[in-house]
Structure 1
Amino acid sequence: MAERLYREIGEKIKLEIIKSKLKVGDKLPTERIYAELFGVSRTLVREAFIMLEIEKLIEVKKGSGSYLKSQISNQQSSKISDVGPFELLQARQVLESSIAACAAHSITKADLNALQVTLDLESSELNSVEKANAADRDFHLLIAKATQNTLLLDTATRLWDMRDENSMWQQLHERIKDSSYHGKWLDDHQQVFDQLRKRNAEGARQAMWQHLENVKQTLFELSDTDAPNFDGYLFANPQH
């Protein structure tokens, strides 16, 4: 299997650091500079930065930039998951929007009651990131369960397990300190729930797609280490 592109970019950045003879504490060039140097999107560079951050080679200071935290060794290698957070989110967006549409046809009163309980719990736990995240997961997987299709539920569960185990994803989520983000996502969940209650398959699909699009935009914003306006995405917004 070919090595993931963000890994390749991460290794190229290491070589550039060595070539530039940067010292610990020195500021790295911006994401934009590396993107132009390697001819790739800034999102790809951002994921490479996260990889280097997890390896404790650089330190990202929001609003300031990225700094060399320790000297680069040619022996160092990454131990993170082979799937980047934005790639994982894309897979969830494609799958879970379809799952929501499917669930709209088969959802029962008991399913809707379980979702309402989860929404109430999520609302009451907005100030606890850990509990809000747990309720978030439960909400999504209850929808998958409502399809009455065990394969869809198993697949959705696997993607969520990958999300929870993915150190790059965790690195991004550690930057979500403001509970207002969870409040916005709760509003999204309510939109999905309303469409499911109406048994509106297309409405449920659109609401879930938009919810995960909002999550993506939040993570882009939080993971940006320099200028707020960037010109590259890992995946484009398809017509739907």
Structure 2
Amino acid sequence: MAERLYRDIGEHIKEEIRAQGLMVGAKLPTERVYAEQFGVSRTVVREAFIMLEIEELIEVRKGSGSYLIKVPADGRLIRTHTEDIGPFELLQARQVLESSIAACAAQVVTKHDIQLMQDTLDLEDAELDSIEKSDAADREFHLLIARATQNGLLLETCTQLWDLRERSPMWKTLHARIQDTSYRGDWLDDHREVLAQLRRRNAEGARQAMWQHLENVKVTLFALSNTEDPDFDGFLFTSLGAGPL
């Protein structure tokens, strides 16, 4: 498997820690500093920090930043999570794929498909206070759209991406930073807009609605998982782009 960009940045950060002789308790530079230094987006740096957190090298403190709790050994690369995919990398892949899936589904969706999706959104609405049940309904809604394309390979690919999310230690670590779950109501509204476009069999409308939904997910998770700067400034996605490909 090719080296993940976040992993490469994480290793560079570890090399800097060793080269600068930082001691346990030292505060690391901000994500913005590393993003500008390495010429990457803050999402990649956020993923690198999550990797270091999982490796128990740093501790993130809400509203303060990231602190060194163990100095990485010289030349030792920790490969426990090599195959993990960064949460924002995964969301970008889903955004590209699922927006096209929604457009495809809009052209062939059946009344039965629509009813199943509506039932799932009703369940999601009823279970907003339960993270586990709300997440399950969220996943089911997206997979129902993929199933509505009547293309088994698209459904399989979409399912694989969701399975990667559920197995990902990085995804779990990201969510462990987030205490406010009120955003779930906003995501439900996004789902309703996607369904409205599917009802109209509006392929481009469905594409745009799904793209915007997953854009909202990325921005929300990044803002809520921030540990160092309460004033989210939008620098995050300058290298990802803001519209459909």
TM-score bucket of the superposed structures, by smaller chain: over 0.9
2:98 is the counterpart of 1:93:
no
Superposition map of 1:182-201 within 5 A: 182-201=184-203
Amino acid across the alignment from 1:104? A
Superposition deviation, residue 76 in structure 1:
4.3
Pair 1:157–1:71, CA change in 2 (3 A): same
Moved more, 124-133 or 1-10: 1-10
Superposition map of 1:42-81 within 5 A: 42-74=42-74, 75-80=76-81, 81=83
Match of 1:229 among 217, 221, 233: 233
Superposition deviation, residue 229 in structure 1:
2.3
Moved more, 51-60 or 221-230: 221-230
Superposition deviation, residue 230 in structure 1:
5.4
Superposition deviation, residue 180 in structure 1:
1.1
Amino acid across the alignment from 1:88? L
Amino acid across the alignment from 1:231? F
Determine if contact 1:55/1:78 at 8 Å carries over to the other structure.
no
Determine if contact 2:84/2:170 at 8 Å carries over to the other structure.
no
Is the partner of 1:56 in helix, strand or coil?
coil
Superposition deviation, residue 175 in structure 1:
2.8
Superposition deviation, residue 232 in structure 1:
4.4
For 1:109 and 1:145, the matched residues in 2 are separated by 13
2:225 is the counterpart of 1:215:
no
Amino acid across the alignment from 2:243? P
Gaps of 5+ in 2: none
Tell me which residue corresponds to 1:9.
Answer: 9
1:24-47 superposed Cα distances (whole Å, 9 cap, x missing partner): 222111112223333433322221
1:80-137 superposed Cα distances (whole Å, 9 cap, x missing partner): 2343222211111111111111111211121111111111110111111111111100
For 1:210 and 1:173, the matched residues in 2 are separated by 21
Match of 2:139 among 137, 140, 149: 137
Is the partner of 2:67 in helix, strand or coil?
strand
Pair 1:210–1:84, CA change in 2 (3 A): same
Determine if contact 2:180/2:224 at 8 Å carries over to the other structure.
no
Identity of aligned residues (%): 65
For 2:85 and 2:162, the matched residues in 1 are separated by 13
Q: CA RMSD in A?
A: 1.8
Pair 1:139–1:38, CA change in 2 (3 A): same
Pair 1:197–1:2, CA change in 2 (3 A): closer
Amino acid across the alignment from 1:235? L
Using structure 2 for the length normalisation, give the TM-score. Answer: 0.91
Superposition map of 1:163-202 within 5 A: 163-202=165-204
